Amino acid sequence: GVLSNPITLPSITTWPYGLAFSPSGQRLYISTEGSNELSQWDLSSNNAATINASRTLIANITTMGTLGALQLAPDGKIYLAGNSTADLCVINNPDALGAACNLSINSVNLGGRFSYWGLPNFCTDYINFLTILANGNCFGDSTYFSLADTAGLISVSWNFRDSITGANNFSTSFTPAHVFSLASNFTVMVTATYTTGTFTGYLTVSIVQCSSVVAGFQADTTLCVGSCTDFTNQSVNGLTYTWSFPGAATTTSTDTDPTGICYNLAGTYDVSLIAHNGLQSDTLTLPGYIHVYAPPTAPILINQNDTLYLTQDYDSYQWYFMGAPIVGATDSFFVVTQDGLYSVQLTDANGCTFFSRTSDIAVGTSEIEGIHGGLQVFANESELIIRYQTDRTLELTFSIYDAAGRLVHTSREQTQAGANTLRLQGLQLAKGLYVLHVSDGKNILVQKFAER
């Protein structure tokens, strides 16, 4: 083989003797004979300067004579020999950084025998600490773990090396399941305690994207100037999102479902969404997706014989008197029953809501040729009596409106020359103010009356 990518450790100057790598290969331990120092290096960065800067002095051991060999054992621990000593030191958690590696000095007695610097020399690559079984490697789904050997198993501690998942990065279950945060490679670590001792194992799992990312969304697409819309994300297999709303008050977003996206100018606008999952992305751009309409110019109310109307049809109407909505007044016209300020709130075909101009209306009385002396109206619980004088035969329409402008009765009558009396029975009018309109088809006579 060829030795490649060598890294020099210039800080070792006092007779290095022992060297061992942790089970994961991420930590390096070196003992020095001259200064009796045990030091640790963190190799995880794969950067020479960073590795050299990571040196940590674990201990200066004065009870071992001079320090000798370091050796990784089948139990996952690293043992340290001395010169002419009856004990060994042990690094209990060699993959932990700094003092967390848990060095125990003179903790393993040799039973009357002595160590002279060395330990058994063998290839640690063949040490099988634990056999980990894994099932499932699709990103977004659970990966299930277990140990091949469970005989005498007392407890386990799993570290999925997936720190983004927070507390879910760890488990003490014998058969845990973990959903990895990225489609990538993860070296899972387990420490298992058996009746025979504690052992450490590692397994590298490759989490892959099994399904493609597909971007998708929907929203209300027809808006009025100054209104807002909410977007519903319909993407498949996405994790993070980048939105673009050119022309909106908020032009970008990384929310999953952006809300309150407002448009203040009329026009047609594109919307774009990029859905990501860590390895893949998909972009969806819908040109002209949002249509923003400006409301029309406020129309002017037309007043004809105390009936208000507009020259154009709209989708909905709500009439207002003195700035307050009139209950039930939702027709395209409104019969005025009292003096004051009138307007109407309109909704056009684009869903835009706006107001007409306000009109100051005074209820008036027109003349009908042939009727003299006006109208006399008498109301009681059983009937409504209308008296009037004509000089000819007339065809007249009698219409009664309540205070909200709603038509409650209409009838057509033929009158004779002279005094006329019309009796309307069975109207069942509620108490309140009413307006009587009498029309010959050209003009209207208006008379207010009250049902008490």
The torsion angles phi and psi of 99, rounded to 5 degrees, stand at: -65, -20
Sites in the chain below the pLDDT cut of 50: none
User: What pLDDT score does 170 carry?
Assistant: 97
User: What pLDDT score does 366 carry?
Assistant: 59
Buried b (16+ CB within 10 A) or exposed e, 186-198: bebbbbbebeeeb
User: What pLDDT score does 445 carry?
Assistant: 81
Write the CA distances from 367 to 326, 349, 372, 420, 438, integer angstroms. 29, 40, 9, 17, 10
- CB proximity list for 163: less than 8 A, separation 6 or greater: 169
Dihedral, CA atoms, 364, 370, 374, 377, nearest 10 degrees?
-110
User: What pLDDT score does 127 carry?
Assistant: 58
- The residue type of 198 is T
Task: Classify 348 as helix, strand or coil.
Answer: coil
Burial class (CB in 10 A: 0-12, 13-18, 19+), 363: middle
Write the CA distances from 344 to 189, 304, 320, 423, integer angstroms. 73, 16, 6, 35
* CA pair distance 75, 71, nearest whole angstrom: 11
- The tokens describing 421, both together, are 């009396």
User: What pLDDT score does 42 carry?
Assistant: 93
* CA pair distance 70, 81, nearest whole angstrom: 7
DSSP letter assigned to residue 208: B
Report helix, strand and coil shares of the chain as percent, to nearest 5: 5, 50, 45
Structural contact between residues 201 and 132, judged by C-beta atoms closer than 8 angstroms: yes
DSSP run (H or E) holding 53: helix 48-53
User: What pLDDT score does 290 carry?
Assistant: 96
* CA pair distance 56, 61, nearest whole angstrom: 14
Report long-range pairs for 76-79 (Cβ below 8 Å, ≥24 apart). Answer: 76/23, 76/129, 76/191, 76/198, 76/199, 76/200, 78/20, 78/22, 78/29, 79/108, 79/119
